[in-house]
Amino acid sequence: MTNIYYFSGTGNTYWSAKKLAARIGSARIFPISREMKQPEIRIRAEAVIFMFPAYAYGTPVMVRRFLEKADVHADYLAALVSYGTSPGGALAEVHAVLARKKLILNYAGRIPAVENFIPIFGAPGEALRTKRLALQSAATEQAAEAILTRANSSMQTFQPLFKIISSLYRLARPAMINFFRLTEACNACGLCAGICPAGAIKMADKGPVFHTACETCQACLNFCPRKAITFGRLGPDTRRYHHPEVTAGELF
């Protein structure tokens, strides 16, 4: 049995996790956001795969805490990072956390995807989006083949620049909720609160209230059906992005 643990905001990583599970066959997928609510995380499987996006060239805070908390027993461990701009040192961070627990990361893979942090990078054009989706599909298939054959890989574990950037991001992350804004288009439907993997959005009479547990995954912003959530200088007319084959309901 193979267990796949994933973190996903706008569906890129979730899509690859679904495809990977189908390709492997005897695999189950678990959202890390749900597993973190358990008092103890005990993982027993033949193979375990951790899947997550790169945030500021590192791992999302919740993923790092999950890896630190989990009691893992498996014959084979793999980590797959999805990324829009660069995977940075995310895999090196996972390797370091596992090494401190005397665990060996057998395979480290990279899955290019569509960039979803549109407040900085903007919404992808149709040509770029099509290209990145094709790359994601191919990389997911490659990762599945590697895991099925129990391949091993090497990686660069000394990446000080990425480590510094990632550390600064983690320090600044709680304050980033101050960049979220609501427009008058918000009708307090609650979708953003339901889809938030960190549980960082609570609904009030006038709409969502953002809390410091926010992972800045951009799920709320990109899935909002009325484009009522903005971030920083992002305008309400800017095109949003989520994986075209993933619905908000799947990520609830």
pLDDT digits (tens, 9 = 90+) for 4-52: 999 999 999 999 999 999 999 989 999 999 999 999 999 999 999 999 9
Burial degree of 126 (CB within 10 A; 0-12, 13-18, 19+)? exposed
Compute φ and ψ for 53, nearest 5 degrees: -90, 160
pTM: 0.95
Orientation angle between helical segments 160-172 and 90-100, nearest 10 degrees: 90
pLDDT of residue 126: 93
CA nearest neighbour of 54 among 188, 165, 140: 165
Spatial distance between the Cα atoms of 79 and 110, rounded to a whole number of angstroms: 9
Measured between alpha carbons, how far is 83 from 52 in angstroms, rounded to an integer?
9
pLDDT given for residue 124 in this prediction: 86
Nearest to 214 by CA among 156, 242, 175, 184: 175
Domains of the chain: 2-164 (3.40.50.360), 173-251 (3.30.70.20)
Amino acid at 41: I
The predicted pLDDT at position 234 comes to: 85
Max Cα–Cα distance, the chain, nearest Å: 53
In the chain, which stretches have pLDDT less than 50? none
Q: How far apart are CA 196 and CA 217, in angstroms?
A: 8
pLDDT recorded at residue 177: 94
**Whose CA is closest to 136, among 10, 19, 55, 24?**
19
According to the model, what pLDDT value does residue 205 have?
A: 86
Q: What is the DSSP letter of 102?
A: T
Using DSSP, state whether 252 is helix, strand or coil: coil
User: What's the pLDDT score for residue 157?
Assistant: 83
